[in-house]
Amino acid sequence: MNVDSSSLNKYTPDEMMTIAAARLIWPGCVCFVGIGVPSAAANLARLTHAPVLPLSIGDGELAETADAVVPLPEIFSYWLQAGRIDVGFLGAAQIDRFGNLNTTVIGGYGKPKTRMPGAGGAPEIAHHAKQIFVVLKQSPRSFVAQLDFCTSAGFLNGNGERARRGIPGAGPQGVITDLGVLKPAAGSQELTLVARYEDISVDRIRAATGWPLAVADTIDVVAPPTEDELRVLRDLHKRTEIAHAGDACRSRKTPRPSLEQARSTA
């Protein structure tokens, strides 16, 4: 049963984005996902329609029920680089029309306005996973005509350049935002709007994009969240908040040693 927008269960754009991303995961899909929305989407899929979902992530919610927890080098060498990952879920601060991602700096690299966490494992995931799903909020600041820095390759300049360079994975096959869904066009590989959410107009999505957005001839409307999807997602968020609060409490009770203490024990 779908949640009526006038009910107490009215959903937020972030919830719609997470649920739309979760629906792309199928049972048995081997995912490599990061923290934040990708993690929430993978957990939601595991708790609803994909109960036997194998996952690779440093996530307590997943580790509690995992068959095994393996070292990070094994994840990259045995699973990712060997081509055993079906889907890599990535976020970004910036994305361009060909699905290239920036998670490094905003502004010039030498003197950036903002220096972000950096690449982590994202370039390897974007390179080796069989396909990539990107999840991020859509605005002219995040959907840009030119990246300030290219951290992870999508389709590079499009028109088959990724394949010509011998990059094994298929690249970004879906970009899920808080407004709709984009997919690469055949041939050009330019990201194209293929679906929107209820009450979101194509003009609004165009205005939230930093380049002239390509739009498919037929635009699907993504079904709103079901009551079950919202219930499971909100319960998941509550458990995550409780776990983070407990971690913060333990951290306060166990303060880090001062520099003098560290030197005295060295």
pLDDT of 98: 98
Please give the full DSSP string across 137-154, using - where no structure is assigned. Answer: --STTTB-SS-SS--B-S
Q: Among 179, 202, 198, 235, which residue's Cα sits nearest to residue 3?
A: 198
The predicted pLDDT at position 59 comes to: 63
pLDDT in single tens digits along all 266 residues of the chain: 454 444 446 999 999 999 999 999 999 898 888 778 888 998 899 899 998 666 656 666 666 767 777 888 888 999 899 999 999 999 999 999 999 999 999 999 999 999 998 898 999 999 999 999 999 999 999 999 999 999 999 999 999 999 999 999 999 999 999 999 999 999 999 999 999 999 999 999 999 999 999 999 999 999 999 999 999 999 999 988 886 675 556 556 666 655 555 555 54
> How many contiguous H segments (helices) and E segments (strands) does the chain have?
9, 12
248 bridge partner residues: none
- pTM comes to 0.85
SS3 assignment, position 196: strand
